[in-house]
Amino acid sequence: MATITAHCLIKNEENFIGYAIKSVIDYVDKIIVFDTGSTDKTVEIVRQLADEYPDKIIFEEKGECDKKRHTELRQEMLDRTTTDWFMI
């Protein structure tokens, strides 16, 4: 059976990130979540979900980023994806 990883590159998504992750968690093998400097409760929400799903969610805080760094982070997600498929 094919495997799939979801990629989430986020910043200040406290209103939606919980719903976004929970909407795909049962359908993917992994979720890679990189936060780029949230100042709201986004990090707290994702940490709670990562504790709830430790085998599925990879979460890292990457700090503020510009357009170039954003592209580099997308590439890092691709490089770290070991599944057959990925989705953004």
Q: How many CA atoms lie within 13 A of 24 on its CB side?
A: 20
Average pLDDT value for residue range 63-68: 94
Cβ contact 85:2 at 8 Å: yes
**pLDDT of 84:** 97
**pLDDT of 85:** 97
Per-residue pLDDT reduced to its tens digit, 17-43? 999 999 999 999 999 999 999 999 999
Name the pTM for this structure: 0.94
**pLDDT of 2:** 95
